Amino acid sequence: MTIRRILTRRGALLEVGGGLCALSGLGALARAAPAPAGGNAADRHMVRPPRLRNGDVLGLVAPAGFVADRFGIEEIAQTVRAMGLVPRFAPNVLSREGYLAGSDAERARELMAMFADGEVRGLMAVRGGWGSARLLPHLDFAAIARRPKIFAGFSDNTALHLALARAGVVSIHGPNAAGSWQPASWDSFRQVAMEGAMPLYSAPAYAGANLGGRGPARRTFRGGTARGRLLGGNLAVLSALAGTPYLPDFRGAILFLEETNEAEYRIDRMLTQLALSGILDGIAGIVFGQCTHCENPDGGFSNFTVYEVLDRRLGGLGVPAFQGAMIGHVAGQVSIPVGVMAEIDADAGTIRLLEPAVA
């Protein structure tokens, strides 16, 4: 049975919902890490959630940061309706506990309620921020795997994507609901989440005013092709989870990364953490999407550029590696399914899905 009520905090009048009765209290929240879905990423069995259809209810959740006011909620609702979907907000999206959208228990309970609600077909994070990793010990990943639904979002939501991948559930790394949703982003999400398509993603061609008409849209650190399951997300979130029981096995995987507002030495430090923790051992290939505003303003002429850092760190892994895919904190970012098989061509700067993300 679905519970419906009206959210009136700060004057917002919105339909919210969640199968709260299905949880029978916070005492049912799991305290263990999700069981691993198998060994080598290429051999792992993954469960694909049902695709979204026109008119489906999309649950809008806030696993991390809060939405500042009801006007932001109204804009998000308008965006979701333009997708042909029906928005349903978790009650905590306007809650606030410091920089979080409510307490860990509240956010975890409402996330699980959306997964349990039979009327909700898929879930999308309203925004990132910080806080998704704090929910991991409180989530019942076994229950989610038994009845999977699309979960979409990016940035801090990387923590949820990786834990879902460990549990064997495919999710979608793409724009949050409060994002700009340019036509390219919507087309990509629609193809992956609603049509079950297997698109080819290409690093964009730069059409600048220089004589050659080309620029640094793609940088190939090591050429070649590779196949594996797509695993990854935000570099800072991934590196912070190193050593925890919530990461999938990256052996045989295509690792994809993105970052924003981090100086070059911090990118170096986080990639070093991945290397020292063994995450880079045995990967089949690596794609670094966009590194937005990744410059230290006080670096000076002698500083490494972020591209030099990536070249030194990724070029020596012995696997195909390139940078420039439209993944990350950029307008027009594409939706990348986490956990599906894909092939990359580092010389061409492409990612080709080899299986659909949805059933």
Task: Profile the chain (359 residues) by mean pLDDT over runs of 10 residues.
Answer: 34 39 39 72 85 98 91 94 98 93 96 98 97 98 97 98 98 96 96 98 73 69 98 98 97 97 94 97 97 78 85 96 95 96 97 98
Instruction: List, by residue number, the catalytic residues.
Output: 155, 258, 329
As separate numbers, helices (DSSP H) first and strands (DSSP E) second, the chain gives 9, 16
Distant-in-sequence, close-in-space partners of 8: CB < 8 Å, separation ≥ 6: none
Sign of CA dihedral 151, 156, 160, 165: positive
- Distance between CA atoms of residues 302 and 220, nearest Å: 23
pLDDT of residue 4: 37
Nearest partner of 47 among 335, 351, 338, judged by Cα = 338
Find the angle CA(71)-CA(181)-CA(192) to the nearest 5 degrees: 130
Domains of the chain: 41-194 (3.40.50.10740), 200-353 (3.50.30.60)
- For 82, other C-beta atoms within 10 Å of its C-beta total 10
